[in-house]
Amino acid sequence: MVAWWHRGSEMPTVEERLAYLEGRGEHQRPSIADLQTSISQVRADVSDLRGEMRDLRDEVRSDIRDLRGEMSGLRGEMRDDFRGLRGEMSDLRGEMNRRFEAVDHKFTWLVGIQVTMLVMMAGALFGLYFR
């Protein structure tokens, strides 16, 4: 049916206008039904996706808890290892201090001997010079 404004100036009756609107609605009903079906499918897919996301969130939280437990254990092991390493370093530092003290004592003797030799040589030279 052609719209009334395309036919001319004559206003259609109420029955004609109603028939025209029903005709237009008949063409859109299948599209609306398809759209409703598609929306229902999207809602079902979104609902399934929400369930999967909940499961994934729970799994991630569980993995994070496990990881935190492992990290706590590793932190304790590292703390113990560092304590042992600090003890070894302290022992090594003590050993180095003892060795430096021994070398320092020997160095003092060496410098003393050299100064004594220098004074002796200077005395000998002065003795030869002033004779």
Tokens in use for 45? Answer: 């897919």
Mean pLDDT by runs of 10 across the 131 residues of the chain is: 61 81 77 87 94 96 95 94 94 93 91 95 92 80
- Which run of H or E residues covers position 31? helix 14-129
Angle subtended at Cα 33 by Cα 29 and Cα 37, rounded to the nearest 5 degrees: 170
Residue 94 belongs to what domain range? 4-129
Quick one: pLDDT at residue 119? 96
Quick one: pLDDT at residue 131? 80
Q: How far apart are CA 20 and CA 2, in angstroms?
A: 8
Number of domains the chain is built from? 1
Q: How far apart are CA 56 and CA 63, in angstroms?
A: 10
Average confidence score pLDDT of the chain = 88
Q: How far apart are CA 79 and CA 88, in angstroms?
A: 14
